[in-house]
Amino acid sequence: MTEKERYDFYDFYKILERLRAPGGCPWDAAQTHESLKPNLIEEAYEAAEAIDSGRGEKMADELGDVLLQVVMHSLIGKENGEFDIDDVTSAAAKKMIVRHPHVFGDVKVQSADEVLDVWDEVKKKERGEKTLSENLNSVSRALPSIKRAAKLQKKAAKVLAPQESAEDALTLFKKLSEELTVNSSDEALANVLFVLTRFLTLQNVDAEELLRAKNEKFLKKIEKIEKTLVIRRNIW
């Protein structure tokens, strides 16, 4: 196993199984679902960063780290008598078949947007959601707050404000921003941020990604300023 140049999924699974087995790695053997949860979140973000880099080798490396987390949880689940890797792949496969009735059934769609509508309706039926609040509560609370706000607003708008435009949200944003001069409470600030997120969503702009890009620009600006200061010091 240690002399191979390339490894398939089964090889990878056997390696991690060996690490968890008696006589393997003490650290790997000690891990639980709870202890690995932060790692899964961190690896997902690092995979997203690798995708932004556009480098295939980096993407393969970081996606491998995400897969490692999936397999580790599957091994722990098997040891605990909860589930195994076949349960994971079976659940995913069945979900893809059920949620794509336009591919594996007789539902007709004409666009990617219609696919998303079908997907959302199927998920509602799977979860037995009958009310808007039940549908909204299905949005994961583990998401970053801005991304969760965008998802909540998008789902709610389909029922409460299907005709809402970006201009409507922008008008409300301007009004709430002006009111901050007389009321800058946490609630007022939250309202402005919430409505701004709605405006960006209606513009098909991912607020989370927009802020992430701004963070990177800010860092590069600081680096540029520091380089300028170093050059000036050297000149002096």
Q: Are 98 and 126 in contact (CB under 8 A)?
A: yes
The model's confidence at residue 86, banded by pLDDT at 50, 70 and 90, is very high
d(CA 128, CA 138): 11
Q: Is 216 buried (19+), middle (13-18) or exposed (0-12) by CB count in 10 A?
A: exposed
- At 168-202, the pLDDT tens digits run 999 999 999 999 989 999 999 999 999 999 999 99
Proportion of the chain above pLDDT 90, given as a percent: 81
Q: Closest by alpha carbon to 169, among 203, 198, 208, 207?
A: 198
For residue 78, is pLDDT > 80? yes
